[in-house]
Amino acid sequence: MDHIRLPVDYPVLEDEDQPGIYKDSGFEYIESCLNWCKQNGLRVILDLHKTPGFAFDEPDKATLFESPILQERFINLWIAIARRFSGCMNDTLAFELLNEIVLLDSGPWNVLVRKVVERIRGLDPQRLILVGGNYYNAADELQNIEALDDPNILYTFHFYLPLIVTHQYETDVPSLVKNRIT
């Protein structure tokens, strides 16, 4: 093993009732993990697992892609993250924009990715950024991701087949995944 994927839900960094006010304690938590990884020779993917208006495990409640306000919060959260870690672990810390998008069409995600990458690049031009596709980062959705002219973007997918192995004892596998990949 040479890296970890550190999932961070937005409430670690921002309270729902105080949007835009970022928690030092949340950043300190991440920094503690980064320091441990650095000491142990591990690379880190900082994965925004949930953001205001989107959670991979509740795609039916997603409002991020219809709400300019929530999209701006998402972008601003990434700006805060990029600002905080600019110059930190340049070759060993990557940013994964958002975990497992679920949309009827990839278009809104492509638009939001373009905006957030542009803003991150203003602060951290060389940081490796991971972008996954639609339907829980399904491999066949890579073709629907808009490729940006940026050599430091890694397009990624998740592979869950066979579900009987990858989701042992899971009783609540989202029906969209069941219908899509089984």
> Token pair of 98, please?
């958002």
Among 73, 51, 141, smallest CA distance to 104 is for 141
Opening angle at CA 82, ends 39 and 55, nearest 5 = 95
User: Could you confirm whether 118 is annotated as catalytic?
Assistant: no
The per-residue DSSP string of 13-43 comes to TB-TTSTT-B-HHHHHHHHHHHHHHHHTT-E
Runs of H (alpha helix) within the chain: 24-39, 68-85, 107-121, 134-137, 163-166, 175-181
Question: Which structure tokens are listed for 90?
Answer: 């340049």
Helices and strands in the chain: count of H runs, count of E runs: 6, 6
Question: From residue 78, how far is each of 17, 27, 153, 164, 166 by CA, in Å?
Answer: 18, 12, 15, 35, 30
Catalytic residue among 58, 100, 146, 170: 100
Active site residues: 100
